[in-house]
Chains A and B, each alone.
Chain A
Amino acid sequence: MIAAPGTTAWYVYGVVDASASLPPGRLRLVEEGPLAAVAGAVPLSEFGEEALAERLNDRRWLEVHVREHEEVLQRLAAGSTVVPFRFGAIYRQLDDVAAMLQERRADFTAALARVRGRIEVGVKGWADREQVSASLGDAPPQAASGRAYLERRLTERQRVEQVAALLADIAGDAHARLLRHADEGVANRTQPPELTGRAESMILNGAYLVGGDGAELAAEVAALEAEHRGRGVSFETTGPWPPHNFVEPGEGS
């Protein structure tokens, strides 16, 4: 769709090497020295400053565009090294995109080197707290006397704490073991059940930057899974992702 000048802006998805090639489509490379930004024209009626502020509150609109941002990066990452931008980097003119590339050249060059030849893999740990609790042994017996009742309540409370401590240990150990098979890794905030829609609690929300195809990391995930499955803890991988977690200076481990 060709729009009249002044009605479109340029949305930047990420930065690649200037030598990278794009799949055919409506996106274009904005080259500046050794770097290129991957940009697409967007209507100002949606992506202008005021319009965008409004759209961002529309959950449906946001989901569509956030997913699209991710899909573009996924396709780029399949063929090139890419430094993903956060959602919403918008420029009025291509010259502005080039100026941004020039200004941040050192950052982007370092970020490209950091993620070159590597993929980001997500690993999540899940716990069925009841099963974990049961794995710690029999629940305290039903109590007849008042004193025994209080003791039982106390034991129950201790049990909840024991489960929490065990899960923290398992998650910490898993993250440390996964890091050994990764160049970098980060344990992000776990997502609440309302967000995951799952009955189990998320105990690990890790992202790992790994070389090659990540087979070693996958093998460690399988080992963790085999080790803990019997007590109600499971692990799964997501991705590969574009290296979102490993491009900002200071992020990662």
Chain B
Amino acid sequence: MSSNELAGVGGLTQPRPTNPAQLADVLERVLDKGIVIAGDIKIDLLDIELLTVRIRLLVASADKAKEMGINWWEGDPFLSLNGRDRRGLEGRLRRLEAAAGLDGEDEE
């Protein structure tokens, strides 16, 4: 990099490295890892996670992402049905199906 100045957030003209890291790798680290802090101006962490999901879904449909093992937002009550409630419902559904002599679809 040629600039000798640390361009802070807000400076949009910083030079790009000649061999920039893959965006996916940077997003994964900067949005998913690192110390999590609740600041004075609160950014709801769920927003950040929602955003990460959106970024991934921009390039992968939800079903495709799920197929690839990216389904962690499903456990997030903000992003889906409450995971525990849903598991409870599924359990009840399966027991009801069993009681009625119906074959529930195998999950695994």
Contacts and interface: CB of A to CB of B under 8 A. Distances in A.
Interface of A: 1, 9, 11-12, 14-15, 22-27, 40-43, 46-49, 52-53, 56-57, 59, 62-72, 75, 83-93, 96, 100, 104, 107-108, 111, 122, 188-192, 194-196, 238, 241, 244-245, 247-248, 251
Contacts of A14: 34-35
A9 B41 contact: yes
A248 B51 contact: no
- For the residues of B in contact with A, the DSSP-based class is loop
B interface residue count range (under 10 / 10 to 19 / 20 to 34 / 35 or more): 35 or more
Contacts, number: 181
Given A49-B43, A90-B39, A245-B33, A59 B8 contact: no
A66 B29 CA distance: 10
A87 B65 CA distance: 23
Contact of A26 (B6, B23, B28, B43): B6
A65 B9 contact: yes
Contact of B34 (A90, A92, A247): A247
- For the residues of A in contact with B, the DSSP-based class is mixed
Contact of B6 (A23, A70, A244): A23
Contacts of A59: 55, 58
Interface string B1-24: 100111111111010010011111
A115 B54 CA distance: 31
Contacts of A195: 24, 56, 59-60
B92 interface: no
A247 B32 CA distance: 12
Contact of B51 (A23, A62, A92, A241): A62
Nearest to A61: B12
A71 B29 CA distance: 12
Contacts of A86: 30-37, 48
Given A194-B59, A245-B29, A68 B7 contact: yes
Contacts of B56: 192, 195
B93 interface: no
7 tightest Cβ-Cβ pairs between the two chains A and B: A40-B8, A25-B6, A244-B33, A192-B68, A86-B34, A194-B60, A244-B29
Contact of B10 (A43, A67, A89): A43
Given A68-B9, A68-B14, A90 B48 contact: no
5 contacts: A12-B39, A22-B6, A53-B47, A85-B36, A194-B60
A14 B31 CA distance: 14
